[in-house]
């Protein structure tokens, strides 16, 4: 990358100012309060559209509140970097009093890990916060950042956050054990403020990403398909250097999965159909999981490795199912939602011998309001996650209530 000795960084500050004035404090993602912002280097990973950029801008405007010359928000694909690099930008920033550097979409910048390491080591007074695609493995960059960076994951909205962003009220989140033990009382408290079932249906269709608040529901599937294409063609292209042919095959794989989720993969058959190796399929599953387009479920008691066949493959969230399929299966939608919310809460989930999911020692069967418990009744600890009910009783918990885990 050629370097032009043009130190007029006012271009970057003007870009920073325009973005800062557009953010408000009407809604904060749950992660905002969980981040330890005083670390020297922070990474915020998450799917496209989850709110990473807004999270950083809100911190700058409403919590950090430092003088203009001390803070700079830049995006890694800004045209400034056609003729400048990150290290020289940080150097000029520091010499002019800069101490807080925010870099959006760092995965779009070549040699990002090496230059971040150089900035971290060379400018100890500068704090760095950067965002990236979920697919980026920060700890496998060409420079070792493992001792330097603290990483946070920002998933899509929970049902609880969807309600708040949509103006339907503010509600607390609950850990899994508390939610299960006290589900009836919790549900009653929520029902005193909002009628959840109609809103839950909307959430499953288009409410997982904050973009639902920016346009009409009819636009969401179109925008989600654009996001899917961008993740596969652009993000994975930056990270894995995929060509157009590989991107096309990965999209075909995603289409096959979307038509049959929860998908029980036959790796050999898929490899033959796409004319690639079995190892390529395993690798693509892993990349799509990291990019938050898929969730992979393995059997209870089995380890996790790159070349291990998942027992079931789910789309990462229910909105993807509605974007990729005209009539997604309702049973699959229910399972996709529950798995998504459990994983976003950082709960380990496996496929048990009986039931749909095993989470924290609890066997969970997912279904409608009349779902039987016969498949899990013999287990010491089990519950039925039932769709279509406002409140539950004993081991029958409303499915929508699992949207209050984070």
Q: What is the pTM of this model?
A: 0.91
User: How far is residue 296's CA from residue 316's CA, in Å, rounded to a whole number?
Assistant: 9
What confidence score (pLDDT) does residue 5 get? Answer: 45
- The answer to whether 364 and 373 are in contact (CB under 8 A) is no
What confidence score (pLDDT) does residue 141 get? Answer: 60
Looking at the chain, how many residues does it have? Answer: 406
CATH architecture of 10-153: 3-Layer(aba) Sandwich (3.40)
What confidence score (pLDDT) does residue 142 get? Answer: 54
Nearest Cα to Cα of residue 398 among 185, 166, 187, 152: 187
Helix (H, G, I), strand (E, B) or coil at 98: coil
- The answer to whether 203 and 195 are in contact (CB under 8 A) is no
What confidence score (pLDDT) does residue 2 get? Answer: 40
Tokens of 174: 């609950």
What confidence score (pLDDT) does residue 261 get? Answer: 72
What confidence score (pLDDT) does residue 214 get? Answer: 83
For residue 163, give the H/E element and its range: helix 159-165
For the chain (406 residues), the mean pLDDT of every run of 10, in chain order, is 58 97 97 97 95 98 96 96 96 96 94 94 97 82 79 97 97 97 98 98 96 85 90 81 84 85 86 91 91 92 65 94 89 96 97 94 95 75 96 97 98
Burial label for 301, CB within 10 Å (0-12, 13-18, 19+), is: exposed
What confidence score (pLDDT) does residue 37 get? Answer: 97
Tokens of 243: 């060509």
Tokens of 128: 């760095």
What confidence score (pLDDT) does residue 305 get? Answer: 55
What confidence score (pLDDT) does residue 245 get? Answer: 87
Burial label for 244, CB within 10 Å (0-12, 13-18, 19+), is: exposed
User: Residue 58 carries which DSSP code?
Assistant: H
Nearest Cα to Cα of residue 77 among 114, 106, 35: 106
Comma-separated ranges of CATH 3.40.50.300 domains in the chain: 10-153
Q: Which residues pair with 149 in a beta bridge?
A: none
């Amino acid at each position: 990358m050629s370097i032009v000795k043009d130190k007029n960084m006012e271009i970057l500050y003007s870009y920073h100012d325009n973005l800062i004035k557009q953010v408000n404090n009407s809604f904060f993602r749950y992660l905002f309060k969980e981040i330890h912002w005083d670390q020297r280097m922070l990474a915020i990973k998450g799917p496209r559209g989850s709110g990473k950029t807004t999270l950083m801008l809100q911190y700058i405007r409403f919590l950090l509140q430092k003088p203009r010359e001390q803070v700079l928000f830049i995006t890694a694909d800004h045209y400034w970097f056609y003729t400048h690099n990150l290290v020289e930008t940080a150097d000029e920033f520091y010499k002019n009093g800069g101490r807080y550097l925010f870099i959006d979409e760092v995965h779009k910048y070549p040699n990002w890990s090496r230059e971040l390491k150089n900035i971290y080591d060379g400018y100890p007074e500068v704090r760095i916060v950067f965002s990236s695609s979920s697919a980026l493995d920060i700890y496998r960059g060409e420079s070792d950042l493992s001792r330097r960076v603290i990483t946070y994951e920002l998933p899509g909205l929970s049902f609880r956050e969807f309600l708040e962003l949509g103006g339907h009220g503010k509600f607390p989140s609950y850990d899994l054990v508390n939610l299960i033990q006290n589900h009836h009382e919790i549900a009653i408290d929520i029902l005193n403020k909002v009628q959840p079932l109609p809103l839950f249906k909307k959430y499953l269709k288009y409410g997982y990403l904050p973009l639902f608040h920016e346009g009409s529901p009819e636009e969401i599937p179109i925008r989600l398909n654009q996001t899917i294409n961008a993740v596969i063609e652009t993000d994975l292209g930056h990270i894995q250097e995929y060509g157009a042919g590989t991107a096309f095959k990965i999209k075909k794989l995603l289409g096959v999965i979307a038509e049959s989720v929860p998908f029980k993969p036959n790796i050999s058959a898929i490899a033959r159909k796409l004319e690639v190796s079995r190892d390529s399929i395993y690798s693509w599953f892993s990349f799509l999981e990291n990019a938050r387009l898929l969730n992979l479920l393995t059997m209870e008691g089995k380890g996790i490795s790159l070349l291990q066949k998942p027992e079931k493959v789910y789309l990462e969230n229910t909105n993807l199912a509605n974007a990729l399929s005209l009539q997604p299966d309702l049973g699959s939608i229910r399972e996709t939602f529950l798995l998504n919310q459990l994983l976003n809460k950082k709960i380990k989930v496996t496929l048990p011998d009986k039931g749909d999911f095993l989470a924290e020692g609890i066997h969970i069967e997912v279904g409608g309001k009349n779902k039987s418990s016969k498949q899990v009744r013999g287990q010491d600890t089990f519950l039925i996650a039932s769709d279509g009910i406002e409140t539950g009783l004993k081991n029958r918990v409303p499915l929508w209530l699992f949207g209050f885990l984070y």
